[in-house]
Amino acid sequence: MLAPEVIEAINRVLHEELDPLGFQRAEIAEDDDHDGDPILRITLHYRKSEDALDLSPTFRLAQVVKAAARPLGEMRFPHFRHQFVEGQKLKAA
């Protein structure tokens, strides 16, 4: 079971990094990857923006989430899924 302080720390850094993209909330769950290794599966939900979004702030999410969670004893690697509103425009990387 995920400790509440881990969930709080992850949510804090997600808001710091993603609020400019319209980040609303995250669903954080314990899971196993395709090899059976334990991971954190994090689904990120966003509000619709009229502007095309630059997703470059998402490139370092694993790094910032690990930096927030590891001091609290959470060692699992985070896997992300981004849920944008249908029709959201994205800038090319």
60 within domain boundaries: yes
* Number of domains observed in the structure of the chain: 1
Q: How confident is the model at residue 54 (pLDDT cuts 50, 70, 90)?
A: very high
Q: How confident is the model at residue 93 (pLDDT cuts 50, 70, 90)?
A: low
pLDDT tens string 59-77: 999 999 999 999 999 999 9
46 within domain boundaries: yes
Interacting residues of 41 by C-beta distance below 8 A, sequence separation 6+: 28, 29, 30, 31, 79, 81
* Chain CA centroid to CA 34, Å: 19
91 within domain boundaries: no
90 within domain boundaries: no
Q: Which domain holds residue 34?
A: 4-83
- Domain of 56, CATH number, reads 3.30.300
93 within domain boundaries: no
Predicted local distance difference test score (pLDDT) of residue 47: 97
Query: Tokens at residue 82, please?
Result: 């981004």
Select from 78, 1, 83 the least CA-distant residue to 40.
78
